[in-house]
Amino acid sequence: MSNTDPVIRRYFQYLRLERNFSENTVDAYSKDLDKLLGFLDREGVGYRDVQLSHLQTFSATLMDIGISNRSISRILSGVRSFYHFLTMEREVTDDPTVLLESPARGERLPDVLSLEEIDLLIDSIDMTKTEGQRDRAILETLYSCGLRVSELCGLKISDLFLDEGFIRVHGKGKKERLVPISQRAIDELNRWFADRDLVRIRPGYEDFVFVSCRRGSSLSRITVFHIVKELCLKVGIRSTVSPHTFRHSFATHLLEGGANLRAIQEMLGHEEIGTTEIYMHVDRSHLRQEILEHHPRNITSSAPGKSH
């Protein structure tokens, strides 16, 4: 997006030649600027016409989808750099970032796990236990699909379209959405279904994906919280981690990988971004492409497996 505008090309030359930034740093600034430009394009605002209120709304969008304050601060730093350049080059009269504040450190969102920490948690699950494979599938599904814990507990077999690479999620306000699912999550689910076939399912719970191996009924939110807490204690992760942390990690990793903000919004089931009420429908094939291109689990994934 940003490479087509001569002014923006000059900005990147400025970063390389005058600021002496490394290619990695310039690439990071480019990704952050593309996030802003994409947002402004959807709002119908040119970057020369930006006002403080537009940037505040952009910052709110990042917070709304669960991006950490630290990542938001880094993105806004790149935005300030861009408008400092525009002001210096007299492309804009006034710098709209002068009064732009970064998120307060005291208003922390839940911690975001690194990909290595997520793998550590999943790999630490005791596979000799009856529920071992179920718990692997739970964590992988939480992370790969960005689900709320209530959505995970309510997930039904009839909601799975694994051949197509999607699951149907019943979110807040009884609203449904289709969310792409990674091949790794599909594989973990398929292995869990083999174990699930051995569980004596109580009447009325036959369609639930995740059930108690002892009671044969659906899992409670408290059970999933307990699973995550015990695994964190086991591997020595001392930050505050809950099932919702996997959702924040999902959104953060996608955004940092360059995924489209609106696509993340729809995958998370957020009807609004920040203070705006604009809702833009995103084509389902585009949603899946966003996941395949930007989610860490899909870098080496193959074709989807068989559905259940």
- Cβ neighbours of residue 266 closer than 8 Å, sequence gap 6 or more: 177, 281, 282, 287
Which residue from 266, 305, 307 is spatially nearest to 285, judged by alpha carbons?
Answer: 266
For residues 287 and 298, give the distance between their C-alpha atoms in angstroms, rounded to a whole number: 13
Q: Please tell me which residue in 35, 134, 148, 248 is annotated as part of the active site.
A: 148
Q: Please tell me which residue in 136, 177, 247, 253 is annotated as part of the active site.
A: 247
Q: Is the dihedral of CA 32, 34, 40, 45 positive or negative?
A: positive
Phi, psi (degrees; rounded to nearest 5) at 192: -65, -40
Does 83 participate in catalysis according to the annotation? Answer: no
**E-state strands within the chain:** 160-161, 166-170, 176-180
Does 244 participate in catalysis according to the annotation? Answer: yes
Does 80 participate in catalysis according to the annotation? Answer: no
For residues 150 and 167, give the distance between their C-alpha atoms in angstroms, rounded to a whole number: 15
Q: Please tell me which residue in 10, 226, 234, 279 is annotated as part of the active site.
A: 279
Chain length of the chain: 308
Does 270 participate in catalysis according to the annotation? Answer: yes
Q: Please tell me which residue in 10, 19, 48, 172 is annotated as part of the active site.
A: 172
Q: Please tell me which residue in 177, 248, 270, 294 is annotated as part of the active site.
A: 270
Catalytic residues: 148, 172, 244, 247, 270, 279
